[in-house]
């Protein structure tokens, strides 16, 4: 199994909210990637949940693996949020091309300093990845 745990450091140690948000997004990206590699699937029920379902999926042990270590401030809200206190946004999908090749698409972002959802544009801070299914072991 590829699973891994990613720890968050003390947010008081970083005074730059953009840097802290980028660090959080990177850890989420790695947790999601690990989940996809282990399960050959996207995390379940994540759309329109304001990060609650994704948080539960990544922080709960699955087959003895936790993909993201809980963060004390997240434990009370069960949500994933940026340094400004806004929920992270996420879009995940699977596409199949005409040759039958499957690709997992993942984008997770912060609305940034202006707190307006610009869908990964403007001052939004985004982590996105496309993962071909042939990247996933055993597929």
pLDDT of amino acid 6 = 47
Interstrand relation of 125-132 and 89-96 (parallel, antiparallel or unpaired): unpaired
pLDDT of amino acid 73 = 61
pTM here is 0.78
Largest CA distance in the chain: 49
Strand partners, 126: 109
Domain of 67, in residue numbers: 11-135
DSSP character at residue 110: E
Is 95 domain-assigned? yes
| Closest to 63 in 3D by CA, of 33, 84, 39 | 39
Which residue is associated with the tokens 């997004």? 25
pLDDT of amino acid 125 = 94
| pLDDT band per the 50, 70, 90 thresholds, residue 72 | low
Q: Is the pLDDT of residue 8 over 80?
A: no
Is 6 domain-assigned? no
| pLDDT band per the 50, 70, 90 thresholds, residue 59 | confident
Domain count for the chain? 1
């Amino acid at each position: 199994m590829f699973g891994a745990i990613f720890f968050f450091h003390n947010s008081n140690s970083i005074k730059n909210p953009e840097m802290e948000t980028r660090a959080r997004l990177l850890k989420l990206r790695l947790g999601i990637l690990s989940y996809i590699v282990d399960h050959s699937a996207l995390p379940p029920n994540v759309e329109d949940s304001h990060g609650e379902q994704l948080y539960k999926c990544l922080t709960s042990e699955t087959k003895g693996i936790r993909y993201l270590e809980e963060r004390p401030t997240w434990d009370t809200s069960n949500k994933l949020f940026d340094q400004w206190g806004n929920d992270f946004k996420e879009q995940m999908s699977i596409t199949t091309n005409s040759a039958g090749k499957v690709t997992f698409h993942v984008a997770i972002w912060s609305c940034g300093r202006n707190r307006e959802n610009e869908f990964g544009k403007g001052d939004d801070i985004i982590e996105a990845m496309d993962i071909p299914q042939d990247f996933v072991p055993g597929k």
